[in-house]
Amino acid sequence: MTGAMPLILLIEDEPQIRRFVRATLESQHYQVVEAVTGQEGLLHATTRSPDLIILDLGLPDIDGLDVTQRLREWTLIPILILSARGREQEKIAALDAGADDYLTKPFTTGELLARMRVAFRHQAHMLHASEPIFQVGELCIDLAQRRVTLREAEIHLTPIEYKLLTTLAKHAGRVLTHRQLLKEVWGPGYDDTHYLRVYMAQLRHKVEAEPARPRYLLTESGVGYRLAAE
């Protein structure tokens, strides 16, 4: 991204969605290159060096999950997936395979641009040294001191609760699947989402003013959780 606006590769077979996404991106001065099939998308990914990929899961040749897996064999470029309602399992598999986030069709201009901002921010964060202090709203996590405060009052967390919160904070704004969180917090081999739900409920009771209407620890129904980034 040397001065020029980021190049976005859009892999999508539906012309209306391509038109909508292209218009949205160009209104923000992003450069856009389009691909209609998975094969064409993989080719552009290697030859055009895009800065971010928007990838439809339902493509005519190879599906978006395969495209994600093939891309992740050689690149960490941010991938946002587009999925149709009712294709939850595919979406979760793509996230587990390394996609950064998803949008469910139909989505708005605002949602698309917000997800892109998070993906770019996250990539910058992974490339440069991370900040020792994470702050969103009135919630503050001091990673160096291992101290969590809400409205400047200290919150006491168990080691698991702390790990869960800091894992979400490291990827703030992005969705993490149940499987990714279980692996990261409890280690490989744990696949009991009930466990995760129990700890998330405890954490919300400590961190949220209204645990039933969370402001920070957001549920992505059927997929996982996301820590609010703004």
CB of 60 to Ca ion, least distance (A): 8
CB of 83 to Ca ion, least distance (A): 9
**Residues touching Ca ion, count (CB under 5 A):** 3
67 versus 139: smaller Cβ distance to Ca ion: 67
CB of 88 to Ca ion, least distance (A): 16
* 56 contacts Ca ion (rule: CB under 5 A): yes
Look at strands 101-104 and 79-83 and give their pairing.
parallel
Closest Cα to residue 102, out of 73, 68, 152, 66?
68
65 versus 118: smaller Cβ distance to Ca ion: 65
* 13 contacts Ca ion (rule: CB under 5 A): yes
63 versus 220: smaller Cβ distance to Ca ion: 63
User: How far is Cα 116 from Cα 136, in angstroms, rounded to an integer?
Assistant: 19
* 87 contacts Ca ion (rule: CB under 5 A): no
DSSP 160-185: HHHHHHHHHHHTTTSEEEHHHHHHHH
CB-closest chain residue to Ca ion? 58
* 58 contacts Ca ion (rule: CB under 5 A): yes
Q: Which stretch binds Ca ion (CB under 5 A): 9-17, 95-103, 154-162, 216-224?
A: 9-17
User: How far is Cα 176 from Cα 167, in angstroms, rounded to an integer?
Assistant: 9
* 98 contacts Ca ion (rule: CB under 5 A): no
Tokens found for residue 157: 């967390």
φ, ψ for residue 134, nearest 5 deg: -110, 130
**DSSP 8-state assignment for residue 62:** S
Dihedral over Cα of 221, 71, 119, 198: its sign: positive
13 versus 208: smaller Cβ distance to Ca ion: 13
Q: What part of residues 185-214 is at the interface with Ca ion (CB under 5 A)?
A: none
13 versus 96: smaller Cβ distance to Ca ion: 13
With contact defined as beta carbons under 8 Å apart, do 87 and 68 qualify?
A: no
* 66 contacts Ca ion (rule: CB under 5 A): no
Tokens found for residue 185: 């917090």
Closest Cα to residue 45, out of 84, 4, 77?
77
37 versus 202: smaller Cβ distance to Ca ion: 37
* 40 contacts Ca ion (rule: CB under 5 A): no
Give the footprint of Ca ion on this chain (CB under 5 A).
13, 56, 58
